[in-house]
């Protein structure tokens, strides 16, 4: 997505460890006009996938998912609800949540993410939306929860994929329909350029 | 807001300790059509307050804030950006964030919330938006950050205020323009009814 690539080039920075910082428009200060462009693009890319629910994980994915939902229509003509998995340090799991363990790349810790069983289950065609795809742990955790619930993953929509980390390849190898709006690569000087996949 | 009150009555539940559970539409599964109604109402209530930025705290406020932003126009005709304060257990604060300590009513712990100094400062007229107002700690933390940054709080927009907790009174006593779309009270049997304030 040209517009997102341009914003990454003009406003993004690269921190040590291959951290792509785009907190000025994507995950701390949110440019809601840009999120609408992103949401419209996801709507186009997954228009024929029968999406009736959008799933993300707190916190950065929530705003993007909510804006994107507006560009989808469920079979009954409504806006698909957004469900966000909650992170918790607590091991005190109740019986009525689907859970998965997720390692965080940027924090170096492990979270248990959880989704109430009431809000995900058989008959759901779920689009995963997130701001970043790097090692793929968050997406794998959400896929694990979708599998456990009996729902179907209709696809994964990512704003910024780090092309130099294995998450994208891993999802594609599992047969997931993955659409990343910007696939970032770093040259030897830490400069950003973009990869593009055939759809 | 009649529509929100109806949804609370029909789908909300009350858990021990005065916990109002509305996770089926407001803070776990998000009804994006309802969020649009809520956002439009905030847009109406704060239309004349010169809002150029919306501030919330992760995680539940983010979706509401992003949808609501679409119903505001900054003086230059754009959509105001949403900034969400990040929670962190870390005490390792860098120099370039505004911070405040916030007690969590539902978790019984304390978080340091932080906002990058780049994204809040003098000249900003900030609307705080959040899903719940109870003891008022989150709002006070955000107000504290706004004060430290030199910005001005244009108002506080809350979806569900617990009328039986002191947060609302505390904000009003500070002279804040507070608008709560539903003010929940509990009768002696734990049944929900609503208070209404003169605007």
> Which of B24, B25, B62, B129 is the mutation pick for testing A, counting most A CBs within 10 A?
B62
Q: What tens digit of pLDDT does each residue of B103-144 get?
A: 876 677 888 999 999 999 999 999 999 999 999 999 999 999
| A75: confidence class by pLDDT, cuts 50, 70, 90 | confident
- Cβ atoms of A54 and A82 within 8 Å: the answer is yes
pLDDT by residue (tens digit) across A173-197?
999 999 999 999 999 998 999 999 9
The larger pLDDT score, comparing residue B63 to residue A15, is at B63
What pLDDT, on the 0 to 100 scale, is given for residue A95? Answer: 64
pLDDT class for B94, splitting at 50, 70, 90? low
User: Has residue B89 got a pLDDT over 90?
Assistant: no
pLDDT greater than 70 at residue A55: yes
Q: Count Cβ–Cβ pairs < 8 Å, chain A vs chain B.
A: 95
pLDDT at B92: 40
Q: Which pLDDT score, from 0 to 100, does residue B16 have?
A: 84
Going by pLDDT thresholds of 50, 70 and 90, the confidence category of residue A111 is confident
On the question of pLDDT at A90 being above 80, the answer is no
Q: What is the structure's pLDDT at B91?
A: 42
Position A155 pLDDT exceeds 50: yes
Confidence of residue A91 (pLDDT cuts 50, 70, 90): very low
Query: How many CA atoms, within 13 angstroms, populate the side-chain half-sphere of residue B81?
Result: 16
> Is pLDDT of B93 > 80?
no
CB pair distance less than 8 Å for A86 and B58: no
- E-strand stretches of chain B: 13-15, 19-21, 29-30, 53-57, 82-88, 97-103, 110-116, 125-133, 152-162, 178-186, 192-195
Question: Is the predicted pLDDT of residue B31 greater than 60, yes or no?
Answer: yes
Residue A191, min C-alpha distance to chain B (Å) = 23
Say if the Cβ atoms of A118 and B30 lie within 8 Å. no
Q: What is the pTM of this model?
A: 0.96
Burial B16-36 (b: 16+ CB within 10 A, else e): eeeebebbbbbbbbbbbbbbb
Say what the pLDDT of residue B164 is: 96
- Coil, helix or strand at residue A52: coil
Mean pLDDT across the stretch A118-136?
A: 97
Whole-number percent of chain B with pLDDT over 70 = 95
Contact across the interface for A29 and B83, Cβ inside 8 Å: yes
DSSP state for residue B117 in the 8-state scheme: G
pLDDT tier at A110 (50, 70, 90 boundaries)? Answer: confident
Structural domains in chain B, sorted by start: 2-194 (3.40.50.2020)
A199 confidence band (pLDDT: 50, 70, 90): confident
pLDDT at residue A96 is higher than 60: yes
Q: Say if CB B195 and CB B185 are below 8 A apart.
A: yes
- The tokens describing A47, both together, are 């228009």
What pLDDT digit, counting tens, does each position of B171-181 carry? 999 999 999 99
Contact B28 A119 (CB under 8 A): yes
- DSSP secondary structure of B63-75: HHHHHHHTT---T
Shortest distance, CA B198 to any CA of chain A (angstroms): 32
Average pLDDT, chain B: 93
Look at residue A16 in the predicted model and tell me its pLDDT.
Answer: 84
Q: What is the pLDDT of residue A94?
A: 56
Residues of B in contact with A79 (CB under 8 A): 32-33
Whether A67 sits inside 8 A of B67 (CB atoms) is yes
Rounded to the nearest 5°, which phi and psi values hold at B40?
Answer: -65, -35
Percentage of chain A lying above the pLDDT 90 cut: 86
**What is the average pLDDT score of chain A?**
93
């Amino acid at each position: 997505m040209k517009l997102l690539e341009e914003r990454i080039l003009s406003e993004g920075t690269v921190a040590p460890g291959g951290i792509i910082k785009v907190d000025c428009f994507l995950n701390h200060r949110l440019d809601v006009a840009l999120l609408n462009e992103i949401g419209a693009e996801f709507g186009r890319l997954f228009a024929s996938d029968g999406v009736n629910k959008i799933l993300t994980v707190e916190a950065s994915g929530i705003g993007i998912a909510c804006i994107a939902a507006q560009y989808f229509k469920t079979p009954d003509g409504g806006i698909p609800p957004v469900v966000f998995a909650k992170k918790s340090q607590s091991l005190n799991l109740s019986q009525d949540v689907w859970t998965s363990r997720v390692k965080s790349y940027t924090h170096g810790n492990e979270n248990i993410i959880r989704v109430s069983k009431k809000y995900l289950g058989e008959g759901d065609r779920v689009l995963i939306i997130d701001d970043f795809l790097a090692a793929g742990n968050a997406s794998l955790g959400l896929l694990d929860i979708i599998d456990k619930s009996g729902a179907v993953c209709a696809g994964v929509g990512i704003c910024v994929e780090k092309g130099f980390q294995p998450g994208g390849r891993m999802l594609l190898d599992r047969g997931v329909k993955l659409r990343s709006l910007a696939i970032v690569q770093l040259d030897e000087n830490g400069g950003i350029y973009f990869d593009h996949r055939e759809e």
